[in-house]
Amino acid sequence: MKRFLTLFVFVLSLLAWPVLAQEIDESFVFVDENGAVIPNGATVTRTVVESNDGVEVIYSGLSVKNMGAPADYYLKVHYVISQIDNGSYQICFPTTCNSQSSEGSYVTSPGQLMGEIQDIQSEWFPNADGSCIVNLSIEVLTKSGGFPPQYNHVGDGPSLTLEFIKGGEPQPEPLKGDVNGDGEVNIADVNAVIEIILNPND
């Protein structure tokens, strides 16, 4: 009986798995500056600092491509800023621009692509060395009549992580308790503390 129950639970979990797994709507995809599709969940790192009228900026080079979605499909870009060391992050899509200088979750207004491929003006304006990390994801919608118009969720599209870096890779925070600076906290650090106490003038 116990073996039968285990087998039953296993079969049930196999049947439920497709329902539980999140299916990605591929009506729209992220593409890079060369038009290549960026795989779902990828990390894109940008380090080239350019000058725009004397203001330093790092561009993402991202666009959104319509992969055959119906003409009445709309979309939003949800974005989460998990790190922004300085400056401000800006995203313009599809026709409005949002600018933030603090961590948090944000979303663009809904709209349709102006063509098969549309640039996402996604950029970081650093005012010092550091990094800015942003996760972007596409939400696919349809629009129903009325005023104001209502937007209905169709599906969740792909996502990616944008990592802007100015001034090289930021160094990780030192480990607390790592007295000797070897990247580990162990008995060697205890010995180092004892040595400092016994010989404070060394």
| Regions of the chain short of the pLDDT cut 50 | 2-21, 170
Q: Domain-by-domain residue ranges, the chain?
A: 25-166
Nearest to 134 by CA among 162, 111, 167: 162
- For residue 172, what pLDDT is reported? 54
Main-chain dihedrals φ then ψ at residue 8, nearest 5 degrees: -60, -45
Distance (Å) of CA 186 to CA 44, 74, 171: 36, 55, 21
> How many alpha carbons fall within 13 Å on the CB side of residue 32?
14
The CATH number of the structural domain formed by 25-166 is: 2.60.40
Nearest to 77 by CA among 40, 117, 39, 105: 105
Peptide bond into 110 cis (omega under 30): no
